[in-house]
Amino acid sequence: MTQPDNARQVRPAATLALVRDGASGLEVLMLQRTWQAAFLPGYHVFPGGAVDPQDPDVRAFSSGRGDAAISQTLSLDEGGADYMIAALRECLEEAGLLLAVDGQGRLPSGDHPVLNEGREALRREETSFRTLCERHGLGLPLDRLAYLGHWVTPRGAPRRFDTRFFVALAPPGQQATHDGSETIDHAWLTPAEALAAHRQERMALGYPTLRTLRLIGDFSTAEALLRHAHANPPTPRPSRPWPAHRGGVAWEVEPDAPAYAEVRRLDPHRQGTASAEIVPGRAVELAPGVIRLTAPNPGAMTGPGTNSYLLGNGDEHVVIDPGPADPLHLERLLALAGGRISRVLVTHTHIDHSPGAAWLKARTGARLVGLPPPPGTSQDAGFVPDQRPTHGERLATPVGPLKVLHTPGHASNHLCYLLEPMRLLFAGDQVMQGSTVVINPPDGDMAAYLAALNALGEEAFDTIAPGHGFLISEAHAAIDFLVTHRLAREHKVRLALARHGPASLEALTRHAYDDVPEARRGLAARSALAHLLKLEAEGRAGQQAGLWASRGEG
């Protein structure tokens, strides 16, 4: 059996990072998308777009490398050259730059008609890219593009793209200009400048852009970057299903399914021994000395249930998030530990994560580690920690040190624990699998949550063990995607304010969360309020008599 694929159609696309050596070091061209764009409005991106059905017709004007060689590099059967052609075409349309050569191998000068009249004709769809190349006697030197990466938009996004990322030296003598419609601004920035602007919320960047900037930022010159990129193309993205089992029968897990990263990790030799489902009460050894046991409390907010993690070596054990005070679950944890539990750590005190701590302490004398509960009906008011860890503190465990990371936002007392030797982050509810957490004021704080996510992005780990769901690989991608999602939602809140304000929270939620089912609109309203309070603190929104309106913007 295979899991049903309900994904939207995925379109092939290509992006080109143009680089140059500037006064402050290696610089890359960034374009700002129009605020009216349906996908990533206002975001800064590299030039790029979808592969056009006519792009294969342009292969006759390419040189340097043929389609077969490029396709092999991109792990495709054929059509790899079309991605590069699309990247060059979109770069001309969006940025007014064209990496092409004439019969003498010369690049077009800044006043070349292909960069002016030709670009406008292409944008207005009055001509084709092939016709432009033919008319001006230009060839496309595809060997000057180096392959950087591959990104497929996750399920659930309004549009999904299968995007290949390339890098090339910007053609000297040409001046970048945004087109004024699809792109409304442009800038040459060092990767460090762009990443700092993103952290300070002055520039919105999506995950694949962030990942590319971090890669580019490792090099001081364009020559060093291109030499490395040409010699080290990225490893192929997993594309075939992984054998597993579910419900007692064989099951093939698709690459973008929630269980995929976990079954690959637990069954690297494809024997079909890993489970593609989370079953409460079933112990799963995720790594040497690390066991997950899921509590029997499935639901809309808890997914398959709350994950408890047991870290130990047989003589001593530490529990992370004991879950609700469910005797069967806690007895099972105790049995797995042979009764030897020295400490119980909690990520936060929501009632699906920490109430079991008091039960385990009464049975074992274990010390409780965590931060006291804030006020609120959803909090475990009975949790009294014996130890209150501080941010950056390291806790010794039988399987290695845990670095404590204070990550407020979902809850003001939220902690993550990083098992440094295994580069494994126990994330509680900071990172959810397949969904976003509710940020519920007054204890929930959207600004704090985004700041904590950005801080997590600076830590060294590869895998996330979440409070609900399977292991998450490409850990920093998951974090960056959450930041991207939240900022995109904030943009919708600001649009709703501009178009419909002054308006009530309920009315704004209806507009800003129009893609959320009606049954979940109440929960969405809590996150909408968190966005509004963040905007209010920034001077960009205000409320009066229960109505919200934009502030401080023209």
Provide DSSP, 224-261. Answer: HHHHHHHH-PPPPPP-S-EEEEETTEEEEEPTTSTTHH
Distance from C-alpha of 534 to C-alpha of 552, rounded to nearest angstrom = 14
Instruction: Give Cα 329 distance to the centre of its chain.
Output: 33
Distance from C-alpha of 384 to C-alpha of 341, rounded to nearest angstrom = 17
Cβ count near 175 (within 10 Å): 10
Structure tokens at 356: 């079991």
pLDDT per residue rounded down to tens, the chain (554 residues): 223 333 457 889 999 999 999 999 999 999 999 888 767 788 899 999 999 999 899 999 999 999 999 999 998 999 999 999 999 999 999 999 999 999 899 999 999 999 999 999 999 999 999 999 999 999 999 999 999 988 887 665 556 788 999 999 999 999 999 988 889 999 999 999 999 998 887 888 887 898 899 999 999 999 999 999 999 888 777 778 999 999 989 999 988 789 999 999 999 999 999 999 999 999 999 999 999 999 999 988 888 999 999 999 888 999 999 999 999 999 999 999 999 999 999 999 999 999 999 999 999 999 999 999 999 999 999 999 999 999 999 999 999 999 999 999 999 999 999 999 999 999 999 998 867 888 999 999 999 999 999 899 889 999 999 999 999 998 888 888 888 888 888 988 999 999 999 999 999 999 999 888 888 888 899 999 999 999 999 999 999 999 999 997 54
Phi, psi for residue 33 in degrees, rounded to 5? -75, 150
Structure tokens at 53: 């059905």
Distance from C-alpha of 165 to C-alpha of 189, rounded to nearest angstrom = 18
Are 129 and 118 in contact by the 8 Å Cβ rule? The answer is no
Q: 420-442 burial by CB neighbour count: b if 16+ within 10 A, else e?
A: bebebbbbbbbbbbeeebbbbee
Tell me what pLDDT residue 532 has. Answer: 96
- For the chain, how many residues are written? 554
Distance from C-alpha of 68 to C-alpha of 62, rounded to nearest angstrom = 13
Are 257 and 264 in contact by the 8 Å Cβ rule? The answer is no
**Which regions of 423-462 does DSSP assign to beta strands (E)?**
424-428
The residue among 12, 29, 49 whose CA lies nearest residue 168 is 29
Q: Report the first-to-last Cα separation within the chain, whole angstroms.
A: 56
Structure tokens at 465: 């063990």
For 292, the enclosing helix (H) or strand (E) is strand 290-294
**Which regions of 75-194 does DSSP assign to beta strands (E)?**
140-141, 146-152, 160-169, 183-189
**Following CA atoms 391, 395, 401, 406 in sequence, which dihedral angle do they give, to the nearest 10 degrees?**
-20
What is the sign, positive or negative, of the torsion defined by CA atoms of 16, 21, 27, 30? Answer: negative
The residue among 343, 404, 408 whose CA lies nearest residue 374 is 408
Are 44 and 209 in contact by the 8 Å Cβ rule? The answer is yes
Collapse the DSSP code of 394 into the 3-class scheme (helix H, G, I; strand E, B; otherwise coil) and give the result.
strand
For 262, the enclosing helix (H) or strand (E) is helix 260-266
The residue among 278, 268, 178, 169 whose CA lies nearest residue 227 is 169
CA atoms within 13 A on the CB side of 64: 17
**Following CA atoms 275, 276, 280, 283 in sequence, which dihedral angle do they give, to the nearest 10 degrees?**
30
Largest CA distance in the chain: 83
Place of tokens 């950005």: 454
Tell me what pLDDT residue 159 has. Answer: 67
Cα angle at 107 between 57 and 112, to 5 degrees?
85
Place of tokens 């870290």: 311
Tell me what pLDDT residue 554 has. Answer: 43
Distance from C-alpha of 454 to C-alpha of 447, rounded to nearest angstrom = 11
Distance from C-alpha of 146 to C-alpha of 127, rounded to nearest angstrom = 28
Phi, psi for residue 420 in degrees, rounded to 5? -60, -40
Q: Facing residues of 226 across strands? A: none
For 522, the enclosing helix (H) or strand (E) is helix 521-537
Query: In sequence order, what DSSP letters do the residues of 35-49 get, joined into one string?
Result: TT-SSSTT-EE-SEE
Distance from C-alpha of 145 to C-alpha of 166, rounded to nearest angstrom = 6
The residue among 279, 277, 275 whose CA lies nearest residue 267 is 275
User: At a CB cut-off of 8 Å and minimum separation 6, what does 149 contact?
Assistant: 164, 165, 208, 211, 212, 215, 234
Distance from C-alpha of 274 to C-alpha of 263, rounded to nearest angstrom = 5
Amino acid identity of 508?
L
Cβ count near 493 (within 10 Å): 24
**Following CA atoms 535, 541, 543, 544 in sequence, which dihedral angle do they give, to the nearest 10 degrees?**
160
- Digit-coded pLDDT (tens) for 368-407: 999 999 999 999 999 999 999 999 999 999 999 999 999 9
Collapse the DSSP code of 85 into the 3-class scheme (helix H, G, I; strand E, B; otherwise coil) and give the result.
helix
Distance from C-alpha of 85 to C-alpha of 48, rounded to nearest angstrom = 10
